[in-house]
């Protein structure tokens, strides 16, 4: 019981009402003023640099040099395409030859099996 009394007194002191009696005070009226302020962000300018083609290419590459390199690359790709076509033809012929060899072997096996009886 004693602890409850001590706790109540502390609460009253902290609340500002000792003994449970709230002192009567005249209400204080705070002036209310509402101000709405609109803040606009400063306008920003976007600057984008547009480089010229001359500044993108390394020196010495403008003109005939670049065209020569492109021509060489085109010739190389044409050669590679021709080589791949030739390889496909050779592979097709080899495959056909192996099929013929298998057929011949099957025919010989049937002939030998017929003769062995």
pLDDT tens profile 101-116: 999 999 999 888 877 7
pLDDT single digits (tens) 42-86: 777 777 777 777 666 666 666 677 788 889 999 999 999 999 999
Distance, in Å, from the CA atom of 61 to the CA atom of 65, rounded to the nearest integer, reads: 6
Task: Classify each residue of 28-48 as buried b or exposed e, where b means 16 or more C-beta atoms within 10 Å of its C-beta.
Answer: eeeeeeeeeeeeeeeeeeeee
Instruction: Give the Cα-Cα-Cα angle 52, 56, 60 (nearest 5 degrees).
Output: 115
14-37 confidence digits (pLDDT tens): 766 666 565 666 666 666 667 777
| Tokens found for residue 87 | 């390889």
pLDDT of residue 32: 66
Q: Is residue 92 part of a domain?
A: yes
Range of the domain at 111: 66-117
Closest CA to 62 of 50, 72, 73, 70: 70
**70 assigned to some structural domain:** yes
- 71 within some domain: yes
Whole-number pLDDT of residue 25: 62
Q: Which residues contact 62 (CB under 8 A, 6 or more apart)?
A: 54
For residue 48, tell me if it sits in a domain.
no
């Amino acid at each position: 019981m004693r602890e409850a009394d001590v706790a109540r007194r502390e609460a009253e002191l902290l609340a500002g009402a000792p003994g449970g009696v709230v002192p009567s005070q005249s209400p204080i009226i705070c002036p209310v003023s509402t101000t709405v302020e609109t803040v606009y962000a400063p306008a920003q300018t976007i600057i984008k640099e547009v480089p010229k083609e001359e500044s993108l290419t390394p020196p010495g590459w403008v003109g005939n040099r670049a065209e020569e390199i492109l021509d060489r690359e085109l010739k190389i790709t044409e050669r590679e395409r021709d080589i791949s076509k030739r390889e496909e033809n050779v592979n097709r012929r080899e495959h056909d030859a192996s099929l013929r060899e298998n057929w011949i072997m099957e025919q010989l096996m049937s002939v030998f099996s017929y003769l062995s009886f």
